[in-house]
Structure 1
């Protein structure tokens, strides 16, 4: 029997590479966060697309300095063999002050190949 319903998992059930990225991102450790991506990875955030590790590193550096905010993981789901969704609640000095964002990860060979961040 085939079951393709998303499985909700505890945040600590996320793959190590996603946890490593999220922890490094929160700590503004750009080098460690960037190392979680494949060389040709793509990130889509706030309608902008960043392709390749250099562009992703620039995006991480900007997002670390543009605003001050707290980020809390509120939910984690595995939607298929290589796809995960981690929902975060952010509060800070950005427009609106608070938002829930879905980080949609696609993995390949133990690294993040694709990340889409959207409400």
Structure 2
């Protein structure tokens, strides 16, 4: 996924585009650089916080699967940026639609909630 050139993402803050690129490439240093020190990532109900947990999440979450990801849309829900993703791969179920819900604190990401899209 190239979130910088996808037609649905130009309106996203650079911080969020940087995080999405970092997560896709499993670049924990780049991801941590845009997360606030107190950031929390919640992935379908499991929460991660603190540098070690967040680093492990970025580098390991879903690494055991081969997955293709397509950004399906971007919108705002109040102050929260929502980025829709469609995933296909060899994980249980084979396909899923997820919403990544980003809350910013200034120029850094304070919280990411990854939830199954309604």
Does TM, scored on the shorter chain, surpass 0.5?
A: yes
* CA shift digits 1:6-64 (9 cap, x unpaired): xxxx4211100000010111122221122221011011102211112321111112115
Structural RMSD (CA): 1.6
Unaligned runs of 5+ in 2: 1-7
Partner of 1:43: 41
Unaligned runs of 5+ in 1: 1-9
**1:38-117 equivalence runs, <5 A:** 38-63=36-61, 65-80=63-78, 82-117=79-114
- Identify which of 15, 18, 24 aligns with 1:17: 15
Paired residue total? 110
Query: Bigger radius of gyration, 1 or 2?
Result: 1
Structure 1 segments, 4+ long, off by >4 Å, are: none
TM-score (norm 2): 0.85
